[in-house]
Structure 1
């Protein structure tokens, strides 16, 4: 591992290295990520590895089992479809509410979030700004419970979006066009068209990532320890 310093320090470098290994397929879904092994392999102490693992758990790229061992997120087609099935009516409703109640301050925030997303670098930077854009739209509904529900579901589904970015070169460009149209329709107060676009945007993401999961033949997760197969 390079010894050069960056804004994130050693933990940031470890997180970047692990993230690249996960998205590049060198750490397949379900692989255990043990702090000592990573520390020895990258030539660092366990402290930055522990912090890096916590960051990737927060991002959804790693999960921890009942024994607190980190494993690489393993995509599940059934989970993907369920999450998006719930998200579609909630986010399309939030978009309609945001559109009908939009004021200039909200429009300015949404346009700024859209510009930040357009200018984002690929990978995690894009994912963070993608999440910020959509949650800005949802927050415009001014329904705190609806916003909390959507936020929880989006956290669970964001790793699937990263999968799309990692394996589909056109994924980001198609999303960019939809995001620009979302801003345009909110400014035009076109609530019906916006509601339909948000639903189609989510349907397209779900469909494309489902295809990627099937193409890459992701295996089912192993049975939990102590349970019969």
Structure 2
């Protein structure tokens, strides 16, 4: 579990971090930190309890001890999934339960992975899915955020005007620009595997958006 020395903080701009789909050991966390990485984004499950290959309380403790701040993103379904408000509520509840289980405190940004929706899906269903998820996550005291990936089912106007969140993460895929506000986190995806300390990652950089807002994380 997180200790009293850890605190929820707003990210400064221009910081390098990474997201990873496999566990990161305390030893690897220290190696990342020495290499200039400041934060790690790890996964939460869509069901409970949280499996051992996703973020655990022990891994969270090791990441923090290694000098990395931490946020979490929830796994998305396989490409072609069908969104609905009820599904957003269900997965939002799982995200909250798993975030609490691993020891992420209120105030940390928890991300909804929005990508791979069924081709031609009704945009109102995508919006309902997202906003139901955001309502549950924000209602539990977390900051909600959305990872905008390929085939998200929404355009930039929808993302800005229709979604009940203020934290946006731009994937390394081809995705809409976000009007007015801009993205707070930007990912790089490479054609060849990006491997650091034996772990395949995607690199991310923090930004302060046009409204002066930024992502929040649990800092060591």
TM-score (norm 2): 0.24
* Larger strand share, 1 or 2: 2
TM-score, normalised relative to structure 1: 0.23
- Structure of greater Rg: 1
